[in-house]
Amino acid sequence: MKPEINKLLREIPSMDELLARSWVAPYEEKLGRNTVKSVFADVIGEYRKEILKGTKKGINVPELEKEVIKRLERYKRNSLRRVINATGVVVHTNLGRSCLSEEVIKAVSEVARGYSNLEYDLEKGERGQRLDHVEWLLCQLTGADGAVVVNNNAGAVLLCLSALAQGGQAIISRGELVEIGGSFRIPEIMAQSGVEMVEVGTTNKTHIKDYREAITERTKMLLKVHPSNFRIIGFQSVPSREELAEVAKENDLVFMEDLGSGVLVDLSVCGLKGEPTVANCVRSNVDVVTFSGDKLLGGPQAGCIVGRKPLIDKIKRHPLHRALRIDKMTLAALEATLRIYLEGRAHEIPTIAMLCADADTLKKKALRLKRMLKRAAGDFFDIEVVEVEDVVGGGAYPADTLKGYALSIKSNKIKDSELVELLRKKKPPVIATTAGGFVLLHVRTILRNEEGLLIDCLKEVAHERS
């Protein structure tokens, strides 16, 4: 080893010396001695590597300490935090999909705080069923005669396939072999469930006779999957649910549909047309329907399964049901959300309210925010209200856009990309987009109680950069 490298390595203070610094104690208290030690070790390790490679020519101890502090600060903050969604994507999977209303949050916090009758029958004083809290609600709202709820919809599909078609074949149209959100791919889920996939038809057209002709004595299921995040437009057709149900019945097969988003109420009044409600599917004789709890339903993450009682019973008995079971906080949130539907107050569910917010209301909201921002930082930003296209997200209505409004902001002191980055680092972080050199803040997804916070974040940026 070259002597100058040796000399540099010796200039790095020892771990004990560093741990004795006065600023270390508060971090130790909050994060534990081992965490602090391992962060020091990481940074020292990186310094050593650079010295050995010859890329570091001097040791700056205050700089080393600063780097350690930066990393410790990151650990000190909660990792999972609320953010302000100014993207206009309502069911944004990366931003946590659905927001819950106050009454739903209250139901969760009450159950979380103490013991509950999660699996206890209060009338009989004996063990009860976890699903009893929501099964009847799902049945009421969809017309099905049985329901199961698990951790998420991917789990629901896996469970249904395993319980109802394992060891046999399931027939699916080539136009429905989709991938959703990166890791959920229908062919892989089928393989995982031990179901042999039989593809029929073509990407754009599948006929009922394609299904009929593919049936063998090993066939157990006809599977329909919502194409979610894409649309085939033009020369395109698939058989109706009624036709598929009939063929399934004639051949003693299960007809299952993975609906993905799963709307409980007709959203055509809000201009969103062409998606069946879960009740529509049940009425069209689909035997088992699966859908997410946190997409268009607007509740917590969950996988809902509704359908015919004998099939639901079979699903409940499968060992995967236990492995994928829903937890009590989620169950509380789901029950409270479903009750809002039962009482005919769907418009009070934040996801539904955001989707159905009309252009007029959004424009007023944008103008209000513009006035607030003008007052707070009008010298720094150029602010306009512009018309934008919002989207539903979560794989629903991918071809539809919602007419929305955004604040379009710009400053000659800061680039758009830099402003977006600074906003992301605020407390709370603001997630915005850019278009043509402007930063866009779509107002549809900004909650009422976030408006003041958003303006404060922008004001801070203006102060930092003026």
Dist CA 340 CA 343 (whole Å): 5
Stretch in the footprint of ligand PLP (CB under 6 A) among 72-80, 108-116, 134-142, 225-233:
225-233
User: Cβ 156 to ligand PLP, closest distance in Å?
Assistant: 7
User: Cβ 394 to ligand PLP, closest distance in Å?
Assistant: 6
Is there binding between residue 184 and ligand PLP (CB under 6 A)? yes
x/- contact string, 379-408, with ligand PLP (CB under 6 A)?
A: ----------------x-------------
Q: Which of 87, 169, 173, 228: binder of ligand PLP (CB under 6 A)? A: 228
Contact (CB, 8 A) for 254 and 224: no
Dihedral sign of CA atoms 224, 228, 230, 235 in order: positive
Largest CA distance in the chain: 86
Nearer to ligand PLP, 169 or 228 (CB): 228
DSSP codes of every residue in 213-238:
HH--TTEEEEEEE--TT----SS-B-
User: Cβ 250 to ligand PLP, closest distance in Å?
Assistant: 26
Q: Which of 210, 257, 258, 390: binder of ligand PLP (CB under 6 A)? A: 258
Nearer to ligand PLP, 166 or 229 (CB): 229
Is there binding between residue 224 and ligand PLP (CB under 6 A)? no
Nearer to ligand PLP, 292 or 408 (CB): 292
DSSP codes of every residue in 282-340:
HHTT-SEEEEESSSTT-SSS-EEEEE-HHHHHHHHHSHHHHHTBPPHHHHHHHHHHHHH
Q: Which of 92, 220, 224, 226: binder of ligand PLP (CB under 6 A)? A: 226
3-state secondary structure string across 247-268: HHHHCCCEEEEEEECCECCCCH
Long-range contacts of 385-390 (CB under 8 A, 24+ apart): 386/440, 388/88, 388/440, 388/442, 389/88, 390/88, 390/89, 390/90, 390/442, 390/444, 390/445
Q: Which of 154, 164, 352, 443: binder of ligand PLP (CB under 6 A)? A: 154
User: Cβ 96 to ligand PLP, closest distance in Å?
Assistant: 12
Residues 287-316 that bind ligand PLP (CB under 6 A): 292, 303
Q: Which residues bind ligand PLP (CB under 6 A)?
A: 152-154, 157, 180, 184, 225-226, 228, 258, 260-261, 292, 303, 395
